[in-house]
Amino acid sequence: MKKIILFASGSGTNAETIIRHFATRETAKVTGVYTNNPNAGVIKKANDLYVPAVVFNRVEFESSEFLDNIKQQQPDLIVLAGFLWKIPAHFIAAFPHKILNIHPALLPKYGGKGMYGMHVHQSVLDQKETETGITIHLVNEHYDQGAFVFQQKVSIAACKTAEEIAQKVHELEHTHFPTVIETQLLSQQAN
């Protein structure tokens, strides 16, 4: 069975959806959740679903010991599910093509440093876009510039607030992220 490690910084709705998805599958399971936020809602969600949650700080995250700990777990895929820190180059080098991120917009639009969550949705609203969506991509050394794995659009022509846009994007995330992760794992197996 394949192993998935999740990194998250916030409420953990995507992490919960992913954990629940793989709890019923033979292909993979989520073996741990890592967060940089000691107050993140993802901790309780992971614990409630019997997945260990680990809190770490910036110094730990950038250390070789942290990387060694992750390597020892031999994850087949590392998934960023609302994780806000940039992944260090040495970490990316250790897991080439094995770190997947989701972005709440149609990249390359509305990506880059500082573009996450409601910042993205407000920018999309301010620019009077009629559609937005999600982009799932591999992680490289630059924010939101890794190779795209999947994109899905949704109409937001009727949306009047960033919160309404966020709701539509969350629905896309919860519908597609787990299945794209599963497809990614199966394509690894085929190679």
What is the residue whose two structure tokens read 């180059």? 89
| Residues near 36 by beta carbon (within 8 Å), at least 6 away in sequence | 9, 55, 56, 57, 58, 61, 83, 84, 85
176 is a catalytic site residue:
no
Cα–Cα distance between 49 and 92 in angstroms, integer? Answer: 28
Distance CA 114, CA 182 (A): 28
Catalytic residue among 103, 121, 137, 176: 103
* Both structure tokens of 96: 């080439």
- Which residues are marked as active site? 103
